[in-house]
């Protein structure tokens, strides 16, 4: 597309070729999938794209970056369209980020914690560039990050961006509550990976009080495998008997062992597996 043509599109609604559209860099929202996606595809096949997407000229001078409308673009491609109606606006990076996050927060009915976390982080950084302080963000003003979540809640969501992906996935999947997740976000990556090994083997997650203690150990420089094992071995009422074995299933493998001996053998195998994983991770870091 010639530059003169591109300039003429600024501030107008125009039909843009789908091949000229690129996704917003580090877009934090997951695309529609499954029934939600195909419902949108069907709607576009029947009625077309009723609401224009919002784009800005890309830095390469040839294409357009999608600010709002990623799902409409994806569905339009699947519906076989070649062009899509778009509003073209000139925006700097901060303006584009704020518009992208605001449109998604407003339009999406349900958001995963991880989506809110990275969206709020991007929005807060853009606001800081525009001279808005963290204190101002906490107030319900025109410049606030969220009209629904308080400044403190926004900051708690942003803490989640410090979690390693498997633990953040647990939050999205509602296998870990927000409170413990925020506390665990203060652990460094290696400490989180050590904890992840125990959670996966034991099919458990730390309670809020355990997560707080793990954070304190980390901040005091006392976080190690012994302290971690001691805390995670504590029995929690909401996680009793989460992993169970029937004795008749185990006896064939331990025909001459008592119940206590079988338990001890299984615990030693688990301990050996945890140590093996830690050694592999340590060796990978040393390579």
Domain boundaries, the chain: 1-110, 111-162, 166-242, 245-287
pTM: 0.70
Average pLDDT, the chain: 85
pLDDT tens digits, one per residue of 148-163: 677 788 999 999 999 9
Q: Which CATH number fits domain 1-110: 3.90.1530.10, 3.40.50.2020, 3.10.20.30, 3.40.50.720?
A: 3.90.1530.10
pLDDT tens digits, one per residue of 57-78: 998 888 999 999 999 999 999 9
Highest-confidence range of 35-39, 59-63, 252-256, by mean pLDDT? 35-39
Backbone angles phi, psi at 88, to 5 degrees: -105, 125
The CA radius of gyration of the chain, in Å to the nearest whole number, is 25
Q: Which pLDDT value is given to residue 261?
A: 80
Residue position matching structure tokens 């953040």: 168
CB 49 within 8 A of CB 70: no
Least confident stretch, 61-70, 98-107, 141-150:
141-150
CA distances from 128 to 100, 124, 125, 169 (A): 16, 6, 5, 28
pLDDT tens digits, one per residue of 232-247: 988 665 554 455 677 7
pLDDT level of residue 4 (50, 70, 90 thresholds): very low
């Amino acid at each position: 597309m010639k530059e003169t043509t591109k300039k003429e599109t600024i501030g107008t609604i125009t039909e843009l070729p789908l091949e000229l559209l690129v996704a917003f860099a580090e877009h934090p929202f997951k695309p529609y999938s499954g029934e939600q996606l195909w419902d949108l595809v069907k709607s576009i096949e029947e009625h077309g794209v009723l609401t224009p997407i919002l784009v800005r000229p890309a830095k390469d001078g040839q294409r357009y970056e999608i600010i709002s409308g990623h799902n409409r673009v994806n569905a339009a491609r699947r519906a076989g369209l070649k062009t899509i109606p778009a509003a073209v606006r000139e925006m700097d990076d901060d303006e584009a980020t704020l518009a992208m996050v605001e449109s998604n927060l407003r339009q999406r009915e349900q958001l995963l914690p991880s989506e809110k976390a990275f969206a709020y982080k991007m929005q807060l950084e853009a606001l800081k560039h525009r001279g808005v302080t963290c204190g101002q963000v906490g107030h319900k003003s025109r410049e606030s990050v969220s009209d629904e979540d308080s400044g403190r809640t926004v900051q708690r969501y942003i803490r989640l961006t410090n979690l390693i992906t498997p633990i953040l996935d647990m939050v999205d999947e509602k296998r870990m509550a927000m409170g413990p997740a925020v506390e665990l976000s203060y652990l460094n990556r290696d400490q989180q990976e050590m904890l992840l090994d125990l959670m996966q083997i034991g099919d458990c997650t730390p309670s809020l009080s355990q997560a707080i203690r793990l954070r304190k150990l980390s901040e005091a420089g006392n976080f190690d495998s012994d302290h971690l094992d001691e805390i995670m071995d504590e029995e929690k009422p909401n996680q009793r008997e989460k992993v169970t074995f029937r004795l008749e299933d185990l006896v064939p493998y331990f025909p001459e062992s008592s119940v206590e001996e079988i338990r001890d053998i299984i615990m030693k195998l688990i301990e050996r597996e945890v140590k093996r994983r830690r050694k592999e991770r340590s060796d990978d870091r040393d390579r």
